[in-house]
Amino acid sequence: MAGEPLDLHEVSTLMNYERASTEPRFRHAKLRELALDGAFDTRVSLPSGVWGSQENHPVKRGFIFDAEKPSGLVPEKDLPDLPSNMLGGKSLASTKDLTEADLELIYREARDHDGCYTAVSLFQHFFDLFPPATPLRVRTASGTDFETKISARVILEFYVFAPRQVSVSKMLPLGQTYITGSDNKSLHAVVGFGRPGAQNVEVVADLASMQFGIHGRGSGGEMFQLEPMDRWYDFIERVAQGLEPAKAGAARITRHPWGDDWLKGCAERVKDRWDNRSTKPWCAFCGAPSPTKRCPCKGPWYCSPAHQRSAWKFHKRYCTVQSKK
C-alpha cells in the first residue's frame, strides 16, 4: 500500500471514534436521564437562561450523566466509552426504551459540545505525523471525488447565530455543565480542503456537527459533516438562523480546552489503525475495531447490518458491486 493516499472520509471516521471514546469530559459517563422539554426529574441546578427563548430555540434536549468507575479486570484506560455501554446502574426508566440510534445520537451530541476546535486540533496533530506532500483523497456522499495533498487545507471560522436546538449535559457527582446553542452568537470552526492549486475551498470537514442535534448528520449518513461547501451551508441553515465568516485562511490554531497529550494520543492511534488497515479493519460507520460484516465489494467493514444501512448513502457512490448493477 506504499504511496496510497490517505482517505479523508475514512480517517475522519477513525478520528471521531478515537476522540469520542476517550473524551476526557465524559470518560466513563453513564446516561441517567434524558429530558426533551428542559425539565429533569433529577434535581440539578442549571445556569439562568440556559434554555434560551422558545421562539429562537424550539428544541431542548438535556442529558444527565453519572461518572462511574469501571469494574473488572480490563485496565480502565483500555475501556472505550461507546453508545452500547452508555447506560448504567443509575439510569432512569425513561432511558430503557432508547434505541441504538437514540443512544448513538445522544453520545455524539454530548461529546461534540464545543468540540469544533478540538476536532480541528486533532486534524492538525494527525497530519503532523505525515510529510506535507502526502496525497489525500477527498470523497463525499454527493459524488465529489478528487485527490489533493494534506497541506492543501485551511481553517475556517464562523459565527453561528441562534441555533435552533439547545442541548445541556450535566455530569454528576461534580456537576460540570456543558451547553450548546443557548448563546445567540458563537464561534464554530471547520477544516476546508481544495484541489491542488485551487484558490477556493471545495469540501468542508466538520467533525463536531452533531452538537447541533440530529440535523448534524452528514448526507451520507455520517455522524459528522464531510460535504461540498454549498451543502455545508445548507446544513447550517437547518440548525441555525444565520452564519457569518469570522476568520478564514489560518494554517493552525491553538484554541482547544485541554492539553495536547490526549489529542496527540488520539492522532497516533488513528495513524496506527490506518497503517494496519489491511489486517485490522474498522466499522466504516462508527470506526469501532473488530467489525463482523463486509460489503460484497470487499471494501468497507461494518459492526452490524444497522451500521451498514446507515453508511449506505455514502458507500453506494463508490461500491464496485453497486456500480455494475
Residue 1 pLDDT: 37
Residue 229 pLDDT: 96
Residue 76 pLDDT: 65
CA atoms lying within 13 Å on the CB side of residue 272: 8
- Which segments of the chain does DSSP mark as H helices, in order? 8-21, 100-111, 116-127, 229-239, 260-275, 305-315, 320-323
**What are the sequence ranges of the domains in the chain?**
6-250, 281-323
Residue 4 pLDDT: 86
Residue 2 pLDDT: 42
The neighbour count for residue 51, using CB atoms within 10 Å, is 19
pTM here is: 0.93
Consecutive 10-residue runs of the chain (325 residues): their mean pLDDT? 82 98 94 89 85 76 90 71 93 89 96 94 96 96 96 94 93 93 92 92 97 95 97 96 85 68 95 97 97 95 96 95 60
Kindly report the backbone phi and psi dihedral angles of residue 49, in degrees, each rounded to the nearest multiple of 5, phi listed first. Answer: 75, 15
Q: Which three cell numbers stand for residue 232?
A: 455545508
Residue 52 pLDDT: 67
Residue 298 pLDDT: 94
Q: Which three cell numbers stand for residue 260?
A: 495536547
Residue 33 pLDDT: 95
Residue 248 pLDDT: 72
Largest CA distance in the chain: 58
Contact 185, 216 (CB under 8 A): no
Kindly report the backbone phi and psi dihedral angles of residue 192, in degrees, each rounded to the nearest multiple of 5, phi listed first. Answer: -105, 145
